[in-house]
Amino acid sequence: MLESLDYTVRISHRARYARIVVRPDMSVEVVLPQGVHSGHAEALLREKELWLTRTLDKFRVHAPLQKLECQNSRLESVSFESVGLQFSITYQKTPSLQVRVRERGSELLVTGSVDDSIKLRSALQRWLKRKASELLLPMLKAESAKLGLPYEQAAIRLQKRCWGSCSRKKSISLNAKLLFMPEPLMRYVIVHELAHLKEMNHSRAFWAVVARYDENYLEHCRDLKHVSHWIPAWADH
């Protein structure tokens, strides 16, 4: 695969280690720290060839999957990239007019009026918010303690494109859809909101706080603008 792969190499004075970035348009970029020879890019691509192949395959199949979801095709599984969890889905149509989602290990049992796409989507979104509360809030608490940036309250929301927020009362909210993103982007959002506890703006002082806790924040900030690949259609409405 590498013989036919088109990729670019970028030297970053902020990067501490070499990394590969794959974007939704399937473009591949190798980011190298200053002082590292550009020939290291090919060696890194060969070392990460299996991961790269799998990642490109995900992007390749994403578009048709999104179209199928929008056409009410029945969802078969849910994957949370940031925490490495995947759930298969089993449907049971019952006389109930409602739709319920329950976990059974790595399986989601969906019961009730499962042919009603609107009710099904709403039930899955309610479960997503519950799961995000279970998974994201402890991560926020742990990161807060590690960085020494305490907050007062935290909440989970399901919004279109606002990934997180921090109020002047030190209340932080996180978007449940962070679960679908790669872990570095999820952590960047958490660090970003915690940094607002020190600087309630986007000044140089604010970005200096972010940089202290995320040395690759510029790459993460840029990549966050191209995360549509990771968000399934049922969670994005």
State the Cα–Cα distance between residues 56 and 28, nearest whole angstrom.
9
Which residue type is seen at 221?
C
pLDDT at position 55 is 80
What's the alpha-carbon Rg for the chain, to the nearest Å? 20
pLDDT digit string, tens, across residues 85-115: 999 999 999 999 999 999 999 999 999 999 9
- For 119-153, the pLDDT digits (tens) are 999 999 999 999 999 999 999 999 999 999 999 99
Alpha-helical runs (H) found in the chain: 40-47, 49-70, 117-147, 183-195, 204-213, 217-223
> What confidence score (pLDDT) does residue 139 get?
96
Where are the chain's structural domains? Answer: 1-71
Q: Exposed e or buried b for every residue in 156-174, given b needs 16+ CB within 10 A?
A: beeeeeebbbbeeeeebbb
How far is it, in rounded angstroms, from Cα 169 to Cα 173? 12
Q: How many CB atoms lie within 10 A of CB 205?
A: 11
On the question of pLDDT at 71 being above 80, the answer is: no
Residue 73: its pLDDT value, please? 61
Cα 42 to Cα 28: distance, rounded to the nearest angstrom: 12
| Per-residue pLDDT tens over the stretch 172-215 | 999 999 999 999 999 999 999 999 999 999 999 999 999 999 99
